[in-house]
C-alpha cells in the first residue's frame, strides 16, 4: 500500500509538511496539513489546509499541548505558530534568528517549550506564551542543523552542527555539558533513541549514520554505511528501540536495525533528494517521506509488513 501526494510547485521538507518553492532558493513557503485516510483503492491523502508564508519552510513540529497547533522553521529566520482551526495566518510569529532556521522541536516531557536551531550558530528556547525567546545557547562554531529534546528528561537536549560536533545541553546551563566530535564532516541530523536513555543517532555529509552512547563519547557504538550521499534526516522509531529510518541526497529513504547494524529497507521511489521522514505515532508500521520531487509518500515498508 503506497499513497502518494503531490505538493505541486513546492519541494517537501518535513503529516504536516513544510515546503519551499524553487528548492528553497527564492520564493514562498507553504505549510500543508494532510489527512491520510482509507479510500476505495487503498489509502488516500487529502489536503486539509494550507498556509502560505513569505519565505521557504524547512521544518515543522506539532505542539505537544494542543492537537491543532504546530510550529514551523523558516528560511528568513522566523518561527511561526499555527492553529489549524484558523485560516491564512499564524497565531504567533517570532523573529530573532539572524539566518535560516533549520529545525524546531517541541519538549516531549515538560511540553511547555520548544527549541529552534539556526544557521546563525545558535539554538533558542521558546515558550508559546512568551513574545521573546527564553534563552539562547551559543557554543557551535557553524550552522546548527538540529536541536532535539531528550525523550527521557525535561531539560536535556542534543544539537548537531556544521562544525562536525554533537553537543549535549541542559537548559539549566548556558554552556554545553558535553561535546562529541561526531563525524569527519557536517552533521545534518540527529535523533534520540526512545527506548535507551543515553543513545542518540546522527547523520552526516560523510554519508554515514552513527549510533552513540552519550556516556562513551570517545567512540560510536556503530557506524551504518550504505547511503551514497549526505544523510539529511535520521529518525528513531517511536515503537522500537532498534529501528531507525534515514533519508539522503542519494534520493532514498533507508531503514536500519541498529542492534545488528543491518540495512533492512531501501525506499527508492522518490526522484529527487529525500529530505524528510517520520514514523506514524499511532499506526506503528506506517512511514511518511517527503522530497524535492514535490511528493509525499505514506506507506508500510516491506521490513515492517
Q: Binding residue for other proteins (CB under 8 A) from 36, 125, 205, 211?
A: 205
Of 140-148, 163-171, 218-226, 280-288, the window that binds other proteins (rule: CB under 8 A) is 280-288
Retrieve residue 50's grid coordinates: 494550507
Distance of CA 273 to the CA centre of its chain: 15
Strand partners, 231: 248
Using CA atoms, how far apart are residues 26 and 19, in angstroms rounded to an integer? 12
Q: Binding residue for other proteins (CB under 8 A) from 4, 110, 111, 216?
A: 111
Of 38-46, 88-96, 117-125, 160-168, the window that binds other proteins (rule: CB under 8 A) is 88-96
The three-state secondary structure class of 243 is strand
Q: Mask: binding to other proteins, 146-185, rule CB under 8 A, as x and -? A: -----x----------------------------------
Please check whether residue 201 is in contact with residue 210, taking contact to mean a CB–CB distance below 8 angstroms.
Answer: yes
Of 24-32, 33-41, 174-182, 218-226, the window that binds other proteins (rule: CB under 8 A) is 24-32
| Residue 96 interacts with other proteins (CB under 8 A): yes or no | no
Using CA atoms, how far apart are residues 134 and 155, in angstroms rounded to an integer? 13
- Which residue, 53 or 165, is less far from other proteins as judged by CB? 53
Retrieve residue 112's grid coordinates: 511547555
Beta strand 262-267 with 231-236 is unpaired
- Which residue, 167 or 290, is less far from other proteins as judged by CB? 290
Retrieve residue 290's grid coordinates: 517527503
- Which residue, 48 or 52, is less far from other proteins as judged by CB? 52
| Residue 54 interacts with other proteins (CB under 8 A): yes or no | yes
Provide, rounded to whole angstroms, the least separation between the CB of residue 185 and other proteins.
Answer: 8
Instruction: List, in order, residues 6 or more apart from 25 with CB less than 8 Å away.
Output: none
As a 3-state breakdown, the chain gives helix, strand, coil percent values, each rounded to 5, of 0, 50, 45
Please check whether residue 48 is in contact with residue 34, taking contact to mean a CB–CB distance below 8 angstroms.
Answer: yes
Strand partners, 276: 290
Of 19-27, 38-46, 116-124, 141-149, the window that binds other proteins (rule: CB under 8 A) is 19-27
Which residues of the shown chain bind other proteins in the complex (CB under 8 A)? 8-9, 22-23, 25-28, 52-54, 64-69, 83-93, 108, 111, 151, 194-195, 205, 228-229, 238-239, 249, 268, 271-272, 281-282, 284, 293
Amino acid at each position: 500500500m503506497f499513497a502518494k501526494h503531490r505538493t505541486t510547485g513546492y519541494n517537501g521538507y518535513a503529516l504536516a509538511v513544510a515546503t519551499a518553492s524553487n528548492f528553497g532558493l527564492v520564493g514562498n513557503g507553504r505549510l500543508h496539513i494532510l489527512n491520510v485516510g482509507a479510500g476505495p483503492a487503498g489509502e488516500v491523502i487529502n489536503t486539509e489546509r494550507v498556509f502560505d508564508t513569505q519565505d521557504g519552510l524547512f521544518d515543522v513540529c506539532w505542539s505537544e499541548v494542543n492537537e491543532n497547533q504546530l510550529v514551523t522553521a523558516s528560511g528568513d529566520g522566523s518561527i511561526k505558530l499555527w492553529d489549524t482551526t484558523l485560516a491564512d495566518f499564524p497565531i504567533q510569529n517570532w523573529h530573532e534568528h539572524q539566518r535560516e532556521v533549520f529545525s524546531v522541536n517541541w519538549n516531549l516531557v515538560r511540553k511547555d517549550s520548544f527549541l529552534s536551531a539556526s544557521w546563525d550558530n545558535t539554538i533558542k528556547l521558546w515558550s508559546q506564551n512568551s513574545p521573546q525567546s527564553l534563552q539562547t545557547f551559543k557554543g557551535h562554531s557553524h550552522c546548527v542543523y538540529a536541536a532535539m529534546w531528550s525523550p527521557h528528561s525535561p531539560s536535556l537536549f542534543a544539537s548537531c552542527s556544521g562544525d562536525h560536533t554533537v553537543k549535549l545541553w541542559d537548559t539549566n546551563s548556558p554552556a554545553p555539558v558535553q561535546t562529541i566530535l561526531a563525524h569527519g564532516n557536517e552533521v545534518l541530523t540527529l535523533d534520540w533513541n526512545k527506548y535507551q536513555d543515553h543513545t542518540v543517532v546522527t547523520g552526516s555529509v560523510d554519508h554515514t549514520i552513527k549510533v552513540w552512547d552519550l556516556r562513551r563519547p570517545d567512540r560510536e557504538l556503530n557506524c551504518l554505511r550504505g547511503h551514497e550521499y549526505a544523510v539529511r534526516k535520521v529518525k528513531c522509531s517511536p515503537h522500537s528501540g532498534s529501528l531507525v529510518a534515514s533519508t539522503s541526497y542519494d534520493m532514498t529513504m533507508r531503514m536500519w536495525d541498529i542492534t545488528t547494524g543491518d540495512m533492512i529497507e531501501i525506499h527508492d521511489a522518490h526522484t529527487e533528494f529525500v529530505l524528510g521522514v517520520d514514523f506514524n505515532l499511532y499506526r506503528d508500521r506506517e512511514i511518511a517521506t517527503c522530497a524535492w520531487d514535490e511528493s509525499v509518500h505514506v506507506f508500510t515498508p516491506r521490513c515492517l509488513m
